[in-house]
Structure 1
Amino acid sequence: MRSQREKKLITKYWLFGGSGAMLLGSGLAVLLHGSKLRDVNADPWFWVSTGGFALIMTGLGFIGDANRFRTLADVLQELDKRANS
C-alpha cells in the first residue's frame, strides 16, 4: 500500500512528465516551423525559432523534475520496506 506522500509524488511524476513531453514535442514543431520561415526569408524566423528552443528546454526541465519525483517515490517505498522488515 502506498503512503499519501508517495501518491503525491507519483501524481507529480505523471503531471510533470506528461507536461514535459507535450512541451518538448511542441517546441520541436515550433522550431521546425521557424526553420521553414528562414527558408522563405520571412522576417520573424529568429523569434519563432528562439521560442521553439525555449519550449524544448522547458520540456526537458519538466521531464527532469518528473524523474526526480519518481526517484523520491521509489526511495520512500524502499525505506518503508526496510522499516517494516
Structure 2
Amino acid sequence: MRTKREKKLITKYWWFGGAGAMLLGSGLAVLLHGSKLKETNTDPWFWISTGGFALIMTGLGFIGDANRFRTLADVLRELDARAQP
C-alpha cells in the first residue's frame, strides 16, 4: 500500500515526465521547422530554431525532475519497508 507522500511523488513523476516528453517532441519539431526555414533563406529562422532548442532543453529538465521524483518515491518505499518489523 502506497503512502500519501509516495502517491504525491508518483503523481509528480507522471506529470513532469509527460510534460517533459511533450516539450521535447515539440522542441524537435520546431527545431526542424527552423532548419527548413534556413534552407529557404527565410528571415526569422534563427529565432525559431533557438526557441526549438529552448523547448528541447526545458523538456530534458522536466524529464530529469521526473526521474528525481521517481527515485525519491522508490527510496521512500525502501525506507518504509526497512522500518516495518
- TM-score, normalised by the number of residues in structure 2: 0.99
User: Residue in 2 aligned with 1:43?
Assistant: 43
Query: Following the alignment from structure 1 to structure 2, what is the Cα–Cα distance between the partners of residues 64 and 76?
Result: 18
* 1:68-83 equivalence runs, <5 A: 68-83=68-83
Q: Secondary structure at the match of 2:41?
A: coil
Query: Following the alignment from structure 1 to structure 2, what is the Cα–Cα distance between the partners of residues 2 and 84?
Result: 14
Segments ≥4 residues shifted beyond 2 Å:
none
Q: 1:26 offset after TM fit, Å?
A: 0.1
Point out where structure 1 has 5 or more consecutive residues left out of the alignment.
Answer: none
Point out where structure 2 has 5 or more consecutive residues left out of the alignment.
Answer: none
What value does the CA root-mean-square deviation take over the aligned residues?
A: 0.3
Query: Following the alignment from structure 1 to structure 2, what is the Cα–Cα distance between the partners of residues 2 and 83?
Result: 14
Q: Secondary structure at the match of 2:57?
A: helix
- Superposed CA deviations along residues 37-73 of structure 1, whole A, max 9, x for unmatched, are 0000000000000000000000000000000000000
Q: 1:19 offset after TM fit, Å?
A: 0.2
Counterpart AA for 1:50: T
